Chain A
């Protein structure tokens, strides 16, 4: 039976507006509501559906971060993951480092499929899945909106700028999710209770003995340039008038 590894990142909830700290040293995230990165939730949902269809045996949720990330793993277990793994390390993580740690996890767990969100909504990098696939020497199917499994391969429909592209990848492979792959389920109260009894293993990243990956040095954050609020016009004639004034329409 196929084994699926799903990655979950703890991020500020997408409904919360995050602001730059006044001194520009970072984002003011203290005390904000934290959630699973929405794309990762979609990744987990897809894995669970594979298991429920009989396409997969075990679904393992993994996160890299501090102890507080256990919260997101518990949520993942409540959604239906069979067990969870916290690769514990402190500080800001960049995608190349994440990919290196996930490679170690993949070597230990030997999954048939790794499903990841295409990007995290905090750093918006859109890199970790592709980097893991490269380091692992395995195929990548990014921005997936449909996945069909067939024996030792997967047929994946990808959302690309031109439309919908389909590729076939041999397993093991890394798949990254787009928004329209599925709609994640809601968690029911009894599932939260059940999740408390599911195994959550903690792994120290230091003990993996990885060489530090080169990383980008953050020099400072600033708020984006704001667009000025414009004018409200009364009616269509006034709108057309303004557009003509600026030479934007004939």
Chain B
């Protein structure tokens, strides 16, 4: 019977909404049990949050000063040690946290990693995207070895609340390296919803032309209660900050409604939105590739369309 260990991402105050999605992926393996590991400092409240996810049997709380910040160099050895306590699968999220940590843990365990699980086809058999989403590859992890993997969050629905898992404190006798020091995290201040969990996202591309012009999109987004995203070109040009990038190397998202405004629709961008419910494209070029995948397209100049759209949405 397989037994899954899910690594919980959190920011020191609250559980990341992706954890419930990774739990879903883990439950897809139909395990005999699914535990969640919370590594942090004073993380009892976060552990209780994790215990509330349906399907979670136990939450293991690794509370120690070195876990105050998520450093892969310090967390991977703990995870590897914990995973060897009878687990068949070790799962994390395909976020920058999981992408940083999980391969380090996999290498310590001497096993390959399955990145970005889209679907579970068997206990050790998974589908994952390759070539910027141009193909889906089915892989089988080696028998008799622990499976280490990350779950592509946009492919999984969050497991519901209502779990009653037990929380246990775990003390591991693992020596941690001190060659890596956490210095700071700069987060742009925003009141808008989180890009990865928002149900509506308004994204802008190179066509916006400046950081100032992005205020057009902020206005529309605020009216819709939406998060704001961007193409790589818009981030590279400095119109918006890096954590807003959507795509192969940015965030992979699955909102119910996605607006691509002044975005051409390069494959690297599309791979980040292909699980969106409805895609709306606004572009002045009728030949733009974004129209090939958009559910609703409107050809025209964004600088007149966006204000008009906001006005039209206002009178209802």
Contacts and interface: CB of A to CB of B under 8 A. Distances in A.
Interface of A: 12, 14, 17-20, 27, 94-96, 99, 118-119, 121-135, 137-143, 145, 155, 158-170, 173, 178-180, 213-224, 226-233, 235-240, 242-244, 246, 248-250
B11 A127 contact: no
Most buried by B among A20, A236, A237: A236
B45 interface: no
Interface in B67-100: 71-73, 76, 95-97, 99-100
Contacts of B105: 134
B58 interface: no
A232 B243 contact: no
Given A124-B116, A165-B185, A236 B298 contact: yes
A134 B305 CA distance: 51
B217 to A, nearest CB: 15
A135 B107 contact: yes
B100 A142 contact: yes
B312 interface: yes
A223 B297 contact: no
B309 A236 contact: yes
Contacts, number: 256
Closest 4 CB pairs of A and B: A230-B295, A134-B107, A130-B103, A127-B103
A227 B136 contact: no
B2 interface: no
A127 B130 contact: no
Interface string B274-305: 10011110000010000111111111000001
B210 interface: no
A85 to B, nearest CB: 22
Interface residues of B, number: 89
Interface of B: 11, 71-73, 76, 95-97, 99-108, 110-116, 125, 129-142, 145, 177, 179-188, 196, 200, 224, 232, 235-236, 241-243, 248-249, 251, 256-257, 267-268, 274, 277-280, 286, 291-299, 305, 308-309, 312-313, 316
Given A131-B103, A167-B180, A121 B131 contact: yes
A161 to B, nearest CB: 5
Contacts of B268: 14
Most buried by B among A135, A161, A169: A161
Contact of A125 (B107, B115, B267, B308): B115
13 contacts: A96-B112, A123-B130, A125-B113, A130-B101, A161-B95, A161-B251, A163-B185, A164-B186, A224-B129, A230-B295, A236-B298, A239-B309, A244-B316
Given A170-B179, A232-B286, 15 more contacts: A17-B134, A124-B131, A134-B105, A135-B107, A140-B72, A159-B96, A162-B11, A163-B188, A169-B180, A217-B142, A219-B139, A222-B136, A222-B138, A230-B297, A246-B278
A126 B129 CA distance: 12
Contact of B112 (A19, A139, A159, A213): A213
Given A124-B248, A139-B180, A130 B100 contact: yes
